Structure 1
Amino acid sequence: MTAQELKIQEKKAVQPDGETTKSDTYFAPHVDIFETDQDVVVLADVPGATPDGIDLSLEDNILTIQAQRQTIKPPGRLILEEYETGHYLRRFTVAETIDQEKIEASLANGVLRVRLPKVGPAQPKKIEVKIG
């Protein structure tokens, strides 16, 4: 994979686009990115998110992963809480070598898997010449 296929924007405290009326906290989920001959795969840790709480979008070659984290309140008295409440937000620049129409995503065990298939090389094609 070249650096041009999936450019990782610097990881930092994230802010949603535009102004918001809520003061929600957003976390940048940890990701693993790997490549095969056919695709690039992004694995993002989004524990507590459900499939309907994930917003995966592609606009102006920017892949945005945004997820709502469900807060779980266990019964009884809270003794220690290390998990902060908030949401997930991470953005990546997608190269033109990715077939944007065939991007797929799935969620299992708190891990979001985004498959970014590469555009195949142009195949030889016979073009029919019509009369008229």
Structure 2
Amino acid sequence: MNAETEAGAVSPAAAGAEPTRNVRIWRPLTDVVETAEGIVLMMEMPGVVADDVDITLERRVLTVRGRGSSPQPDRLRLVHLEFEPGDYERSFVLSEDFDAARIEAVLKDGVLTLRLPRAAEAQPSKIQVKAA
């Protein structure tokens, strides 16, 4: 199928428009831990697989998006649903002392773990005090 519809108009997908979904956008619960090396973020994103996570860092704003999927039990009939699927999005403003090239992200068991190491020059150093 080409980018133009029968009437000659360009479809939104072909024009670079992002498709929309009729789902809730959740702000994932996040734990933030400071370590000697930097910061670790642990975000709950149930129903999201690694291929459906998008992480960007632009102008000190770290944005995490995850596209959730509905669980479809095999050969079972759902009688009660408490988990409402949806997409996830959260942004954080970072200081300038993080090394963007070394940020790591791992998704396991519905938890996205981001490791944000500080740049070498931003690492705190201990100053030795001498007795006079």
TM-score bin, normalised by smaller chain: 0.7 to 0.9
Q: Which string of whole-angstrom CA distances, capped at 9 and with x for unpartnered residues, describes residues 95-129 of structure 1? A: 1011112111111111101010001227xxxxxxx
1:23 equivalent in structure 2 = 22
Name the SS for the 1:121 alignment partner. helix
Whether the 8 Å contact between 2:24 and 2:85 is mirrored in structure 1 is: yes
Q: CA RMSD in A?
A: 1.9
Counting only pairs closer than 5 Å after superposition, residues 70-81 of structure 1 correspond to structure 2 as 70-74=69-73, 75-81=75-81
Letter in 2 for 1:89: E
2:116 equivalent in structure 1 = 116
Aligned CA distance change for structure 1 residues 46 and 120 (closer, same or farther; 3 Å): same
**Which protein has greater RCO, CA pairs closer than 8 Å, 6+ apart?**
1
Name the SS for the 1:101 alignment partner. helix
Paired residues, number: 105
Percent identity over the alignment?
Answer: 36
Q: Which string of whole-angstrom CA distances, capped at 9 and with x for unpartnered residues, describes residues 17-59 of structure 1? A: xx97443310011011101111100000111111101001111
In the alignment, structure 1 segments of 5+ residues that lack a partner are: 1-18, 123-132
In the alignment, structure 2 segments of 5+ residues that lack a partner are: 1-17, 123-132
Whether the 8 Å contact between 2:52 and 2:67 is mirrored in structure 1 is: yes
Say whether residues 1:100 and 2:100 are aligned partners: yes
Aligned CA distance change for structure 1 residues 93 and 28 (closer, same or farther; 3 Å): same
Letter in 1 for 2:115: R
Please, what TM-score do these two structures have when normalized by structure 1?
A: 0.72
Large movers: runs of 4+ above 4 Å:
none
Please, what TM-score do these two structures have when normalized by structure 2?
A: 0.72
